Chains A and B, each alone.
Chain A
Amino acid sequence: MNVSVFISLVSLCFLFSNAAQALTVSTFRGEVSFPQTPQTVVAFPAGVIDTLDALGVLVQGVPENLFLDYVDTQKAQTVGTLFTADIEKIHKMSPDLVIIGERSALQYEALTDVAPVIDLSIPRGNTFQESLKRMHSLAKLFDKEDKAKEIENRLYELRDQAKQWINPDESVMVVMLMGRALNVLSSQTRIDWFQEELGMNLEASDVKSLNEVAPISYEYILSKNPDWLIVMDRDASVGRSAKDLSKEYMDTPLIHATKAWQKNQIIYLNGVGTLNSVGGVQGIKHTLEELIKTFSVRINGQS
């Protein structure tokens, strides 16, 4: 509580001192102003790196083990991990801006001493809309608002296409494979926008106590018997597993008995866009494209 009060005070001071040409950005911890467009940027969240790449902004510092196969980070330096930033290296780089968020948000205090930090964590609720909001904040800061408008239009177009295939009367269960465990992702998690934006009728959405992961058994999937099953391998999505095991895990008589399997309505989704690059506009785009492709093939192939 105190921290946010302090930060808003600080940002207020900034507001008054640079009122003339300040670039104000709304962040997870209140509004922050910058005198000018930052040149050297360090970003930790994969979703932010993804969005900045889409906008055409070069990021100079990224975390280790970033697994975004579609973003070229060859030229960027690695500056520690999501959980422990390499403070010395960042200090040496003396960036104009360090962006943290979600999993790296805890590093806020540690980093404020070395560089200007903003927390661009995405609030829960509708990750699709929040991602667009975040993209616009970044676009404003880096003066890429035209590009952002273009991306937004494209994403809305894809969303509308995806929506056409989704029947709100058919239930959808999203299962995440993690290690040996199966988890159901409800509408309280990062796939909230599947329901909010695409109109999917997500299984387990009535359960309030679920936020991140809810471990389930195969029996759970069978007894809920969803019309559609979307399966993601978490370990493959963050690049820690050589192969995607979701197909192997679903190939059992218990799943063969579900409606989803019998109607050939299982979608093995690449989880990079939703589980790794949280709120990244390219991740969302890929996810939408994959959904459109598989939904259309499954539905057309059937009728």
Chain B
Amino acid sequence: MIRHTGLTQSLLLLLFVLCLMTLMLASLFIGTYDLTLASVFENEQASMVMLLSRVPRTLAVVIAGGVLGLIGGLSQVVLNNRFAEPTTIGTAQGVAIGLLGTHILWPESPLYVHTLVASGFGLLSLFGFFSIIRQLKLNDPMLLPLIGLIYSAILGAIATFIAFEFDLMQFLMVWLNGDFSTVISGRYELIWGAAAIAVLVYWLANQLNLLNLGEQTGRALGVPFRTLVFIAMIMIALSTSMVVATVGMISFLGLVVPNIVRYYLGDNLKQSLPWSALIGACLLLGCDMLGRYLSNPFELPASLVFGVLGGCFFIWVLYKGEPNV
């Protein structure tokens, strides 16, 4: 494991925080409506656009990117596998089934009810996945993501089937493809719940770190292993459903980002989680800005841009080989 010294690391962190700040500032001035710094202060309509559209959108992207990066990192520790993230272990698909179900059965109920039911389904799908892998002796770390992908595909197929039967395919697409184009004040606030959970995860990071010990060692040392796993699962399911219900899923962000971070920083959650959140937020914001810029005055979903660029970025990081510090 290669580790940076404390000083370079804090400098780097500062650099990335500055990078995120710059991106956020730039994001406030990219969009269809013509905005300049001066007009925001002089023109009433411009300031409204800034406050009701640009600021919420920027925050929503940063929160979604940060939360997904962080939750990916957490899932990887909980499952003790580098390839786990909500879309590869079926959580996002479970959430989608839940959202479809509430949409069909109780279409009139408010969004938070949909989200809570959906997170229940997300949790169920996580339990299902755990009970499957518990039955199996996994000697090869590659087996878990394979099972996860099969499991996700099955849940995804169920979701597709339901959506197809009720002609809700467009809805399913909307949930599984994250898009921030209609994020405005009053339509996205639920995602702050996911942000709160992310803070909670960071607060519990030292405890959650114990999951790295593995079940047997952990329990031998008196760690309430199952309780910790359970808490982590609830947090994963809740935050995934909040993100999916408000802006839609960004596949693989939670896979790519924590792996890049781990590559440099190792497995300590207290150390790696802020980085996962930071890089996730930077990447997603960059993608959303690019989507806004490229097809101006129309929109390109952030998930699409991320799918292309995030993949390339990941391959580039892998290709670069060993970090030389």
Residues of A within 8 A of B (CB): 65, 81, 178-182, 184, 210, 214-220, 222-224, 234-235, 238-243, 249, 252-254, 257
Contacts and interface: CB of A to CB of B under 8 A. Distances in A.
Instruction: Give the interface centre of A182, A184, A214, A222 by most chain B CB atoms within 10 Å.
Output: A222
Given A182-B182, A240-B166, A217 B31 contact: yes
B12 interface: no
Contact of B174 (A180, A216, A249): A180
Interface of B: 31-34, 45, 48-49, 52-53, 107-108, 164, 166-168, 170-171, 173-175, 179, 181-182, 184-187, 248, 297-301
B298 to A, nearest CB: 5
B107 A243 contact: yes
Contact of A180 (B45, B179, B298, B299): B179
B152 to A, nearest CB: 21
Contact of B48 (A210, A239, A254): A254
Chain A at the B interface: SS class: mixed
A254 B167 CA distance: 31
Contacts of B297: 216, 220, 223-224
B52 A216 contact: no
Contacts of B108: 242-243
B264 to A, nearest CB: 36
Contacts of A223: 32-34, 297
Contacts of B32: 216-217, 219-220, 223
A223 to B, nearest CB: 4
20 contacts: A65-B167, A180-B182, A181-B179, A182-B181, A214-B298, A215-B179, A216-B32, A216-B299, A217-B53, A217-B181, A218-B53, A218-B184, A219-B33, A219-B53, A234-B170, A235-B170, A239-B167, A242-B108, A254-B184, A257-B45
Name the 8 nearest CB pairs between A and B, nearest first: A179-B174, A242-B107, A219-B33, A215-B299, A223-B33, A220-B32, A219-B32, A217-B181
A241 B102 CA distance: 12
A215 B107 contact: no
A240 B298 CA distance: 26
Given A179-B174, A181-B182, 6 more contacts: A179-B173, A219-B33, A223-B297, A234-B170, A252-B52, A252-B185
Contacts of A240: 166-168, 171
Contacts of A184: 298
A219 B170 CA distance: 23
A48 B323 CA distance: 64
A47 B31 CA distance: 38
